[in-house]
Structures are given as structure tokens and as C-alpha cells.
Structure 1
Amino acid sequence: MARHYAIVPAAGSGSRFGSDIPKQYLPLAGQPLLHHTLAALCRHSAIDRVWVVLSPEDEYWQRHDWSPLGAKLETIFQGGATRADSVAAGLRAAQLAAAEDDWILVHDAARPCLAAAHIDALVGELADDPVGGILAVPVADTLKRADGHQRVAATVPRDGLWQAQTPQMFRYGLLRDALEQHRQVTDEAGAIEAAGLVPRLVKGDASNLKVTYPADLGLAEAILRSRLGPRAALGAFA
């Protein structure tokens, strides 16, 4: 049986967010945002180990207590300038544990609302897939392409368009080789596609949002608290 491992690239500065500290360390429902992201992976029974890849200059990690996340979590202070560089560092660490056909789930540090059901869907639907795939949602909104003056240049047909999410799950050897050859990508699926393979789309939902702008923090907290119900009022996030 193939095993499942997770890599979380968390070496970014979150410059678009406009905060004095990297957004993965911003407070969210009583914990750093990154804590919720890692907790979702660490507590899932299908995942054997989680590597979080941090910047060598990271000065925030040690300010927090990560021990409640348990023994599955390992830290790597070898994050690079790009997402692909950080994922590659995670894959190098994984080579001591992962076999060629084991699964690697790469998840955004800034997606703290990942639910067990999302992981279940990905693991279940891709179990026998020869390539792997990603969580994604069909595009529901009308899309506009802008011109150079921030005016509408065209309406883009949304038929067949999906918005990529994470985790993105591929065989260890396949992902390692694809990223070695195709580093100029924005996600792991891009490297797999560049290698001539076709990832599968596994339907997720909008609750697995990525925190990109300040307003997203409030949405993420509302989602997390809604899952706890009455427990949230009793300080379950404290």
C-alpha cells in the first residue's frame, strides 16, 4: 500500500498581504494561521508525515508552540525564493522516507480551512490514478479580461474552467522528476503538465479558501468556527 506524505511550503513573505510579519504567522482564531493549516494535515489518519518548509531566515517559528501538532510534523529551514524551490527542498527531505510510488500532498501554507473531507476526497479518488491530481472548483463567476487601462477587454467563457486549490497530490518519483525539469511553474500540477501528463481534477469547495488579502482572515475564522459549532464559544481555539 502506498503511503501518504505532505509538504507545506511556508517560506514566503506574504508581501501582497501588506503585513509587517509573514501572513502564515498572523493570528487566526487564537493560533497562527499556519497552525491551522498544519493541524489539518497532522491529524488526518491517512497522512504519515508532514514537512513544513521554512525560510532559513525565519525568525517567527520559534515564537510559537507547535508541540500539540504531534510527532508527524518535521521542520525544514531550507525554503527557497520560489514555491518550486521550497517544494523541492521538501522532496529532498522526503527521500529518506518515501518510496517512488508513495503519494506526496503539497498544500498551501495560507489555506488554513482544509477539512478532513477534502483530504478524503483527494486520497479516495486518486488511489488508483496513474498520474494524480488536485483539488479544484469549477469557476462560477463571469470572468473579464482587462486591458492596460483596467477596463474590460473581453468576457472570457468559463465553460470547462476550474480554479486550482491544494492539496495537489502526485507520486513522489513523478513529482520529483517533473519539478527537476520544470521549475518555472506556479503549482505542482503545472510541472506535471509540462512533463506531458494530465492531472485529474477532484472537486473541492469554496471553504478551502486561500488567505490572500486581509478580508480573507475574517472569512477563514468564520469557516473554522462554524465547524466547531458551540465549542467555538467555549474557547476551543485558545
Structure 2
Amino acid sequence: MPEVWAVVPAAGRGRRFGGPRPKQYLEINGRPVLAHALDALLAHDAVRGAMVAIAPDDADWPGWTERRGKPVHTCVGGAERADSVLAGLRALDGIAPQDAWALVHDAARPNLALADLDRLLAVAFAQGDGAILAAPVRDTLKRANAAGGIAATQPREQLWRALTPQLFRRDALAAALAAAAGDGIVVTDEAMAMERAGAQVRLVEGREDNLKVTTPADLALVEFLLARRDADASYANATGATA
């Protein structure tokens, strides 16, 4: 199986969330959001370890060097998400081969399902250019006018919401991110950089509950989802049932 390393951009301050602590360090069920995200990635047998890009003045980083028996490295991230991901890819020099696969995941997306990750890896390995988890848009979409009214109803067919993880070859993604930065383009996810480079990125449908914590309401919902998942796992272990 190809070598895979997780890259987790965690240098953001989470200004939309508010509060003195970055949202990735808020606790859910006794563990930071970031710990849940890392553990979900490292639970897959193909993932060798993780590189976490943190802020240069990060006083909340717990100092992990391993989780789930796998190495956890850190590097200094940048002002934008793309800067942090590129820093993480470059920091893997000497740790992972250039043609390893980079599995990029949001630090504040703690409810990743192992089955989704398994499907993502299978599709990306078979397709070659890479793949992302995503969810089809199911709501009716409205385009607003300048006055705050409805200008039009947008067709939702063929529209997807990009999720993470997103999986690409490390060398190709680093080149695509560097090229976008050189052209003055701020890419909002890794797939956007790869699309600019001409890659045919595949969409892999993921679970709707793979939520990113952006608001306090998101945190409460994810806390409920993780508690329910832990309870289901405990029940399955106690009864010998399969999940």
C-alpha cells in the first residue's frame, strides 16, 4: 500500500468562533478537538504519522510526539490555510518520500468516520490525481441581491460541499500550492490548487456528520455525535456486535 502521511493545518485562531482559545484546543469529552481529529486519521493502518502546522506563538499545543503509537511532528504554519499546508508538506522532507500521499485534514473536524477514510484512499490510489471527501448539496440554494433579497434560485444539481480529508501526492500538491501562491491566488482548499494544476480530482461522498467546528453550536453538536459514537462502540465491544 502507498505511504500516507496526514498533514493538519492548525495555525488558525478561529476568529469566527470567538473566545480566548483556538477552537482546535477546546475539549470534547475530555480531549481537545484536535486530538479527536488526529486520532481519527491515525486509526487507519495506511497512515504512517502526522505533521501538524501550528502557530509560532502557540501556547496551547500539548507537546504530543505520538498518538495511537504513530509519530506526530510539528512545524510552524502560516497566515493562510494554504501556507500552513505547504509548510507541513515541506516539513516532511527527510521523514516521508516526495511521492508519498498527503492526507490533509481540518484540525477542527473531529468526527471523521474510518469507513469514509477507507473509501477516500481506495479511490485516490486507483485514480492517481487525488480525491476529496465531499457531500452533495441537498438544500435549495438562493442567490442574494445587494439589498438582501432573493435574486435567483440556483440549481443544485452537480453541486457538492467540499469536506476533508483531501488526498494528493505530496510532491504534486506542494508544487500546486506554491504555483498558486506565486500567482497571488489564495486557494481555500487543496483541491482548488490541484484543479489549477490540471488534475482531475475525484469526489468521494462522505458522511454529512463530518462537521467542521466553526460556531459554538457546531461544538455542541459534535460533542453529541462523538459521545453517541463512543457509546455505540462500547456497546459493540461489550456484546460482540459488529458496528
Do 2:8 and 2:53's aligned partners in 1 also have CA atoms closer than 8 Å? yes
Aligned to 2:240: none
Query: What code does the residue aligned with 1:20 have?
Result: P
Partner of 2:8: 8
Residue 221 of structure 1 is matched in structure 2 by 223
Whether the aligned pair in 2 keeps the contact of 1:136 and 1:163 (CA below 8 Å) is yes
Q: Structure 1 CA distance, aligned partners of 2:191 and 2:147?
A: 32
Once the two structures are superposed, residues 94-133 of structure 1 have per-residue CA deviations (whole angstroms, 9 ceiling, x without a partner) of: 1223333321100000100012111101111222212011
Q: In structure 2, what is the equivalent of residue 26 of structure 1?
A: 26
The amino acid of 1:210's aligned partner reads K
Structure 2 distance, partners of 1:230, 1:85, is: 38
For residue 219 of structure 2, give the secondary structure of its aligned residue in structure 1. helix
Preserved contact between residue 134 and residue 167 of structure 1 (Cα < 8 Å): yes
Inter-partner Cα distance in structure 2 for 1:115 and 1:38: 12
User: Normalized against structure 1, the TM-score is what?
Assistant: 0.91
Decide whether aligned partners of structure 1 residues 128 and 222 sit closer, same or farther in structure 2, where only a CA change above 3 A counts. same
User: 2:39, 2:68 within 8 Å by CA — same for their partners in 1?
Assistant: no
CA distance in 2, matches of 1:35, 1:99: 25
Tell me the secondary structure at the aligned position of residue 214 of structure 2: coil
**Matched position secondary structure for 1:229:** helix
Q: Contact 2:103 / 2:168 at 8 angstroms: preserved in 1?
A: yes
- Give 2:112's aligned residue: 114
Contact 1:52 1:73 in 2 (8 A): no
Quick one: which of 149, 153, 156 aligns to 2:154?
156
4+ aligned runs moved over 3 Å, structure 1: 65-68, 230-233
**Alignment match, 1:191:** 193
Matches within 5 A, 1:1-238: 1-62=1-62, 66=64, 69-183=67-181, 184-229=186-231
Mind listing any 5+ residue stretches in structure 1 that lack a counterpart? 234-238
Counterparts of 2:68 and 2:230 in 1: how far apart (Å)? 21
* Cα distance in 2 for residues equivalent to 1:20 and 1:146: 33
What SS class does the counterpart of residue 39 from structure 2 fall into? helix
Whether the 8 Å CA contact 1:143–1:158 is kept in 2: the answer is yes
Decide whether the 8 Å contact of 1:2 with 1:101 is kept in 2.
no
| Residue 90 (structure 1) shift | 0.6
SS at structure 2 position matched to 1:131: coil
| Helix, strand or coil at the partner of 1:224 | helix
For 1:67 and 1:54, locate their aligned partners in 2 and report how far apart those are by CA, in whole Å: 14
Aligned length: 231
- Aligned partner letter, 1:53: A
What secondary structure sits across from 1:120 in the alignment? helix
TM-score by length of structure 2 reads: 0.89
3-state SS in 1 of match to 2:102: strand
Structure 2: distance between partners of 1:122 and 1:230: 24
How much identity, in percent, do the aligned residues show?
49
Q: Partners of 2:213 and 2:99 in 1: how far apart?
A: 32
Change (3 A) 1:221 1:104: same
The secondary structure found in structure 2 opposite 1:163 is strand
SS of 1:24 mapped into structure 2: helix
Match of 2:238 in 1: none
| Cross-structure match for 1:236 | none
Give me the CA root mean square deviation.
Answer: 1.8
Counterpart of 1:154, as a letter, is A
